Amino acid sequence: MKEDEMIICRCEEVSYEELETAAAKYKCSARELKLRTRAGMGYCGGRSCRTMVDKIAAASANDQNRTCVSLKYQPPIRPISFENLGRGR
Amino acid sequence: MNNTIIIGSGPAGLTAAVTCAENGVDVVVIDEYMIAGGRLLGQLYEEPNGSWWNGIKESTTLYEKAINLGVKFHFNTAVNNIEQSNGLWVVYTEKDTFYTSNLLLATGAAESPVPVPGWTLPGVMSVGAAQVMTNVQRVKPGERGVIIGVNVLSAVIAMELQLAGVEIACLTLPKRNRITMKAGDPRKVLDSLLHVSHMAPSPFVRYGSKLMKNDFMKKLGVNFYPKKGVKMWDIPIQLRKAVTKIYGEDEVEGVTLATINADGEVVSGSEEHIPVDFVCIAGGLYPLAELAAVAGCPFYLVEELGGYVPLHNERMETPLEGLYVAGNITGIEGAKVAAAQGTTAGLSMAHRSGIKGLDNTINDSIKMTEQTRNSAPIQFHPEIEVGRKKILQQWEAYQSTKRESICY
């Protein structure tokens, strides 16, 4: 396996090359990089690849916002069944 | 309806629970793991004075103390959301919903991934996972492994694995790319190791570190870094080699190791195959602050503390009424500092619950945290003090903008 082909986002199967290409082309924020490639949008909620997506974006964009997290956290932050999610709300 | 809920039963959460209970405050502790202790459970190392720090023993002692004081625990319970509603904190778990006046987030840290080609093969795990398998589950992660990533944590865990009879072929760097960056740069890695070199048992490293105080010597140090690496507890530490690939058909069978120059570039043709049956990835730790983020707590990015940290003051209060933080969620440090912060957080929550006369005790506990930090033999980041000051400055800045907006 070549470096370009290695998987960064396991849930959505996004490769290093896809992220690098998008970051180089759009010089965008981590959030935009996520929306363009779907890295971090899988069922783990970005728990595995969040910091890597952040680093690739920071390396190209260079305008990291220090006062709020670059990729938003959404509840539920742990996997939960629909049945349990709806219960008692 | 509870008075105080603590999320996380590691050194910070357990100590905070004990402190609250000792002051007569009712406490519920929630943890997603099946037993108390958090990262304490994996720890087993020799102190500078020659005694052994056994994390499992430490956590059992704290847990039993908490139980005897009437603290209630919910294990195997993951919190998936928290929100503030009518002056109370609502804590959502898969099983139940809890309500509380005071909520402490003591969720600790998570490991940063380091991507390496072939890292999705079975047999590749984070170094913390290998530590838990070995020290907590008592299962060998494999017979012979390689650790990718040279830092304080990976060096300590390498030694623990060796104590358990697991062979570590070497600690080495990941190949440099846009994600690994500093972790793949021999000079940066050497830099970060120099401040802990007084801990190294090898006289070579100890003596060497004194010679490397200036940058020129550091470069020289990396340039002349022995090809076979420097041995620490008999494990080769390779700063001039990097793993370019993890290979195997259905699981890890080995790694391709290449020589790198002082800038971290691979020397072509230098690749060799090292047969191993497991690989550990050691990318360091970052504060696990997801719950503070969903609660809407303000953050600040402080590299010295390991990443984005929820704003907090020395009393471990966040800007959100009734929400507290302690331990590695506030910055990456050792278990003893986390426990000291837990004491302060526990006292602050007891104070808010109406327990009188705690002001002096709280101030003493803040000083105790500083003392613990200063006497820690290992700092995860050499500039931890700078990081702590930054977050306090941000707290002050946040408070003064808030005061101004109230005035106008």
Q: Which residues in B lie closer than 8 A to residue A10 (C-beta atoms)?
A: 120
Encoded amino acid at B342, one letter? G
CA distance B306 to B265: 26
Q: How far is A58 from chain B (nearest CA, A)?
A: 10
Q: Which residues in A lie closer than 8 A to residue B115 (C-beta atoms)?
A: 6, 8, 16, 52
Q: Which domain holds residue A9?
A: 3-86
What are the domain boundaries of chain B? 2-110+286-407, 113-283
Q: How far is B247 from chain A (nearest CA, A)?
A: 8
pLDDT for res B185:
84
Q: Which residues in B lie closer than 8 A to residue A56 (C-beta atoms)?
A: 178-179
The SS3 call for residue A62 is coil
Minimum-distance CB partner of A73 among B78, B286, B290: B290
pLDDT for res B108:
97
CB contact (8 A) between residue B179 and residue A2:
no
pLDDT for res B223:
61
Intervals of chain B under pLDDT 50: 201-213, 216
Cα separation values, A71 from B30, B179, B320, Å? 26, 16, 21
pLDDT for res A81:
84
pLDDT for res B225:
67
Q: Do domains B2-110+286-407 and B113-283 have the same CATH topology?
A: yes
What's the token pair of residue B289?
A: 């602050």
Number of domains in chain A: 1
Predicted confidence (pLDDT) per residue in A11-61, tens digit: 999 999 999 999 999 999 999 999 999 999 998 889 999 999 999 998 877
pLDDT for res B283:
92
Q: Are strands B97-105 and B323-325 parallel, antiparallel or unpaired?
A: parallel
pLDDT for res A9:
97
CATH 3.40.50.2300 fits B113-283, yes or no: no
A76 touches chain B (CB under 8 A): yes
CA distance B276 to B274: 6
Interface of B with A in 95-114 (CB under 8 A): 95, 97, 110, 112-113
Q: Which residues in A lie closer than 8 A to residue B299 (C-beta atoms)?
A: 67-69
CATH 3.40.720.10 fits B2-110+286-407, yes or no: no
pLDDT for res B235:
85
